[in-house]
Amino acid sequence: MSLWTSSDIAAATGGTATADFAADGVAFDSREVGEGDLFVALAGEQSDGHRFLDQAFAQGAAGAIVSSDTTHPVVRVADTFAALEALARAARARVKGRVIGVTGSVGKTSTKEALFAALDRSPNRRAHRSVKSYNNHTGVPLSLARMPADSDYAVLEMGMNHPGELAHLTTLVRPHVAIVTAIAPAHTEFFPDESAIADAKGEIFRGLEPGGIAIVPYDSPHRDRLIAAAHPYAGKIVTFGLDKRADVHAAEVMPSPRGGTFVGAKVGARELSMTIAQPGQHWVSNAMAVLAAVDAVGADLALAGLALGELGGLAGRGARRDVAVGEGRALLIDESYNANPASMRATLAVLAQEPGRHVAVLGEMRELGEGSAAYHEALAPAVMAARVEMAVLVGEAMAPLAQALEGKVDFVHVRDAAAALDQVRALLRPGDAVLVKGSNGVGLSRLVAALADKVG
């Protein structure tokens, strides 16, 4: 069965179909269009998708949503972005399965992927999720539009960097279960303080379906604020975390001899023993959120434990690679996708547990506003606690950290990722453990790709 037919699309968007067609996927980036996809020609500030119609159809598009004339098979609408949102609402309306929304300052993509892996193991059940980090005003409706009508579970990530964004996105997703993973300084350029960030994340609860379940981090200093935000909308509020007073918590935690962490978890009155493949205390917290959500939708906790035990690292979010260095190998920990003060400290703590010489390639943290200098400087204790022997600091905003590390940790401070790559290639030795972490705009993913391709 096709994901969308031209008549379905016309009915959902109020548009006019110029030909009959059926699509099996949806894309708004012409570079990602595959055989049988629907291409949504969005008009953005930098580029207009209508310019790439020929390319999209050359790559196999079955049809498109457009707002101008073309000879290709399309559905013509007045506004293609409004049409994408309308398609998203239609997709959500036809799904009878359980929908889970995930947000948070840190951990939302990792939690989304782990939760999908847990639910996808359910026998005779179909699970859907947001791909990549499609969690903004265009990514969320795209992820909904891609959702098959017969989905039993859907896990949809929602992000924001301004107040009010989640309030809108959650009305599209209409989750049965809404998770806030954690609150931390992120996008502080747009918020006066962390409490305001918590309020913005708490907007996710406004879209809960009647009787829906809110899942809140017990260990957060903003726990009570989030619970208050959930109360008017949630039929039930569940807490998770490391604290034994949380409804879902890690009662026992110890390093696993094979890497990762062994956890004895309590989910209400039930107990579950499992090994989490990914190392770090932050992953233990993520896992408790996953168990809380799996329990909330009535899925199998034991299968969730197995999924967490087999979950590999995500590119840019903890993926581990052995890379060639001269006649030996080094461990590369790829955390290059994003960074804020909380995630920096969490991943430095993971580096601290690794054998060998510790090298940290740390890119600047962006969108921190007036507090940026203080946030960067405050990373110094975490760098030293991680026993970093050589740090490569990338970007102008890293200057306060460089000053704080002077005389305490060997470091170089460079302007950009290209200069950082030259430094890393020169200093790496066999047996090193290398952490690469920074805001996505710094471009450290290119450094990771280059190191993984060939070092030394």
Q: What's the pLDDT tens digit per position in 203-234?
A: 999 999 999 999 999 999 999 999 999 999 99
Q: Is 105 annotated among the ligand-binding residues?
A: yes
Tell me if 181 is assigned to a ligand binding site.
Answer: no
The structural domains of the chain, ordered by start, are 4-80 (3.40.1390.10), 95-310 (3.40.1190.10), 319-453 (3.90.190.20)
The secondary structure element, H or E, covering residue 57 is helix 53-58
Handedness of CA 248, 254, 259, 264 (dihedral sign): negative
d(Cα 28, Cα 110) in Å, to the nearest integer? 24
Strand runs (DSSP E) across 47-138, as ranges? 63-66, 74-76, 98-103, 127-129
**pLDDT beyond 90 at 314:** no
Sequence-distant (≥ 6) Cβ neighbours of residue 303 within 8 angstroms: 118, 121, 122
Q: What would the two tokens of residue 129 be? A: 């999720």
Nearest alpha-carbon partner for 428 in 396, 393, 389? 389
pLDDT given for residue 132 in this prediction: 78
Contacts 24+ apart (CB under 8 A), 121-124: 121/300, 121/303, 121/304, 121/306, 121/307, 122/152, 122/153, 122/299, 122/300, 122/303
Q: What is the pLDDT of residue 455?
A: 44
The sheet with strand 98-103 has its strands ordered as 127-129, 153-157, 98-103, 177-180, 213-217, 236-241, 248-255, 261-267, 270-276
What pLDDT shows up at residue 177? 98
Q: Is the pLDDT of residue 354 over 60?
A: yes
Residue 106, marked binder: yes
| 356 among annotated binding-site residues | no
pLDDT above 90 coverage of the chain, percent: 85
List pLDDT tens digits, range 8-55.
Answer: 999 999 999 999 999 999 999 999 999 999 999 999 877 899 999 999
Q: What is the pTM of this model?
A: 0.84
Arithmetic mean of pLDDT, 115-137: 93
Q: What pLDDT score does 270 carry?
A: 95
Per-residue model confidence as pLDDT tens digits over 57-97: 999 999 999 999 999 999 999 999 999 999 999 999 999 99
Is 431 among the annotated ligand-binding positions?
no
DSSP, collapsed to helix, strand or coil, labels residue 258 as coil
Q: Residue 406: pLDDT above 50? A: yes
> Residue 434 annotated as binding?
no
Q: What is the pLDDT of residue 333?
A: 94
Query: Three-state SS for 234?
Result: coil
Beta bridge partners of 64: 39, 74
**104 labelled ligand-binding:** yes
Residue type, 290: V
CA-to-CA distance for 449 and 364, rounded, in angstroms? Answer: 19
Measured N-to-C along each axis, helices 281-296 and 301-310 cross at an angle, to the nearest 10 degrees, of 150
